[in-house]
Amino acid sequence: MNRREFLHVIGMAAACGLPLAQFSGRAHAQNAAQFYDLPRYGNVHLLHFTDCHAQLRPIWFREPNVNLGVADMAGRPPHLVGEALLRRFGVKPRTAEAYALTYLDFEHAARTYGKVGGFAHLATLVKQLKAGRPGALLLDGGDTWQGSATALWTQGQDMVDACKLLGVDVMTGHWEFTLGAERVRQVVENDFKGKIDFVAQNIKTADFGDPVFPPYVIKAINGVPVAIVGQAFPYTPIANPRYMVPEWNFGIQEETLQKAVDAARAQGAQAVILLSHNGMDVDLKLATRVRGIDAILGGHTHDGMPAPAIVNNAGGKTLVTNAGSNGKFLGVLDLDVKGGKLADFRYRLLPVFSRLLPADPGMQSLIDKVRAPYAARLGEKLALTEGLLYRRGNFNGTFDQLILEGLMAEKDAPIAFSPGFCWGTSLLPGEPILMEHLMDQTAITYPYTSVTGMTGETIKIILEDVADNLFNPDPYYQQGGDMVRVGGLSYTCDPNARAGGRISAMSIRGKPLEAGKTYKVAGWAPVAEAAKTAGGEPIWDLMARHLRGRKVVKPLQLELPRLKGMQGNAGIA
């Protein structure tokens, strides 16, 4: 893969255009065939989706306008937003692709191009691509069994069944583990048996360090043995409750990974793919240090990247991709493997436009069946939003602002914290907020709300701790996820500063926060096991009550920190 070939890949990202008229009216197989006409290349084909967060139906999803890169990652993909991202990848503004990849002109673009994702529409796309790519494998990067009401209420069973019907071949995980180790085992040993391989070389038992899942699986694609190695989210027991997976260790284990890659090669694999839930910054670093991986198909950080990064290492080159979130995208990697090694490749990140892709009848009927028992609960109208509601972004989103306001009001607390989750769908102005939409923001297995007395010093320690998880200059010390959302408290953040020195000028209603004074702080999603039995009201009950009382949500003013040293950073607009 030389520079010329790389430019060719970038060019391809800009090539797909389609008249606007195709986006109005009913989805039509002919439109899909035209828009998604992707000539087959090479002999090894991999289809990849990741971080769909259990969104079975088409949704809105606004991409972030703040996704800061620091240190070596400043100004580099994936830390580009809006026009900077379009320029970098040669995507024309005001097109369907620009709508899928950026926040630009979101409301207007959403109404023009329609909802994205949805498993019935994804199924049609997968079938179309598989028809033109015999032997293609479908890979699921994880964060699949969590993120919706039905996934929570069925313990992920709706997604397990949908993935089997979709034809997923190999999977790794992250939020899956928040259903508990036993539930994951149950699915892998029963539902998935003989159908879907769950791989994760970096999960070991805490006692003896024995592998919990197979590290990799080798599948023949058109006669070429291809290894799919699994890398689960390395910081699951830290970012999520440890008590869900008490007997498993995770982490970034370069040596274990290198051994798995070498073993797969020794076993005859002619191409090695890492199906990763590391997050893109971690994958980019990993690719410089581990040899023998042809491509890392990545997720976790929800970065819809139209072209792969090509990373040099001691063993050659490794492609690194990230395929967005919420079912918006399907990554298509075609490899030409000749004489036992990779000769060349083509990669495309295809947006899943529900107005172009007709729903697959079989998948649609499964989705309808899954939802039927919950229809009344899902459809309860809680309030109407007059402004755009979204979550994604480094510091805050309007849906999180709404949650912060709800927490402060319902708990009578002057300060609120809400976790920096990256999932959660969007709502357009004028739409009703249904129970289903509230669950899209809150459906987790540890939803407890609480009010805690915290000193000013503790509050600073928490903000510094989360900021370091986001802005540590070494990606291996980052956890992905965004900054904790903060209501009632203003502060200054200097992402380039060292750990412990990023947060300053903290004030509450115009008064400086006092280190020794205790403040009431409302919050939700505690990772400590004690919170499980403390009896905290689930966040969705609290917010449903708040919304029913509020009836209409006027456009919200975001509480955002003042930023230092970020002028000119391409990750903020």
Nearest to 527 by CA among 390, 421, 437: 421
Give me the half-sphere count of Cα atoms (radius 13 Å) on the Cβ side of residue 132: 16
Closer by beta carbon to other proteins, 38 or else 451: 451
Distances (CA, A) of 346 to 57, 216, 319, 340: 29, 23, 11, 18
Closer by beta carbon to other proteins, 376 or else 530: 530
Closer by beta carbon to other proteins, 38 or else 527: 527
CB 10 within 8 A of CB 104: no
CB 197 within 8 A of CB 214: yes
Measured CA to CA, the distance from residue 232 to residue 171 in angstroms comes to 9
Closer by beta carbon to other proteins, 78 or else 82: 78
- Quickly tell me which residue has 């503790």 as its tokens: 458
If DSSP codes are grouped into helix, strand and coil, which group holds residue 530?
helix
Q: Are strands 329-338 and 341-351 parallel, antiparallel or unpaired?
A: antiparallel
Nearest distance, CB of residue 542 and other proteins, angstroms: 18
Closer by beta carbon to other proteins, 12 or else 238: 238
Beta bridge partners of 345: 335
Q: How many Å is the Cα radius of gyration of the chain?
A: 23
Measured CA to CA, the distance from residue 230 to residue 217 in angstroms comes to 9
Closer by beta carbon to other proteins, 94 or else 259: 259
Measured CA to CA, the distance from residue 430 to residue 369 in angstroms comes to 29
DSSP 8-class letter at 64: P
Structure tokens at 194: 């003989």
Nearest distance, CB of residue 486 and other proteins, angstroms: 11
Nearest distance, CB of residue 235 and other proteins, angstroms: 6
Q: Are strands 503-508 and 489-493 parallel, antiparallel or unpaired?
A: antiparallel
Closer by beta carbon to other proteins, 99 or else 175: 175
CB 313 within 8 A of CB 288: yes
Closer by beta carbon to other proteins, 268 or else 453: 453
Nearest distance, CB of residue 242 and other proteins, angstroms: 7
Nearest distance, CB of residue 477 and other proteins, angstroms: 5
Closer by beta carbon to other proteins, 189 or else 412: 189
Footprint on this chain of other proteins (rule: CB under 8 A): 143, 174-175, 185, 188-189, 205, 207-208, 210-213, 233, 235, 237-240, 242, 247, 249-252, 255, 300, 419-423, 461-462, 465-466, 468-469, 472, 474, 476-477, 479-481, 484, 499, 525-527
- Quickly tell me which residue has 């903060």 as its tokens: 486
If DSSP codes are grouped into helix, strand and coil, which group holds residue 380?
coil
The beta-strand segments (E) located in 392-538 are 415-418, 432-434, 449-455, 485-487, 489-493, 503-508, 511-512, 518-524
Nearest distance, CB of residue 391 and other proteins, angstroms: 12
Nearest distance, CB of residue 276 and other proteins, angstroms: 14
Measured CA to CA, the distance from residue 250 to residue 139 in angstroms comes to 21
Nearest distance, CB of residue 124 and other proteins, angstroms: 29
DSSP 8-class letter at 522: E
CB 316 within 8 A of CB 340: no
Nearest distance, CB of residue 139 and other proteins, angstroms: 19
Measured CA to CA, the distance from residue 543 to residue 260 in angstroms comes to 46
Nearest distance, CB of residue 333 and other proteins, angstroms: 24
DSSP assignment of 319-344 equals EEEEB-STT-EEEEEEEEEETTEEEE
Closer by beta carbon to other proteins, 140 or else 294: 140
Nearest distance, CB of residue 437 and other proteins, angstroms: 20
Closer by beta carbon to other proteins, 75 or else 211: 211
Nearest distance, CB of residue 197 and other proteins, angstroms: 12
Q: Tell me how far the alpha carbon of residue 77 is from its chain's centroid.
A: 16
Beta bridge partners of 205: 248
Closer by beta carbon to other proteins, 186 or else 313: 186
Look at the chain and count its residues. 573
Nearest distance, CB of residue 537 and other proteins, angstroms: 18
Q: What angle do CA 532, 538, 544 make, to 5 degrees?
A: 180
Closer by beta carbon to other proteins, 237 or else 447: 237
Beta bridge partners of 565: none
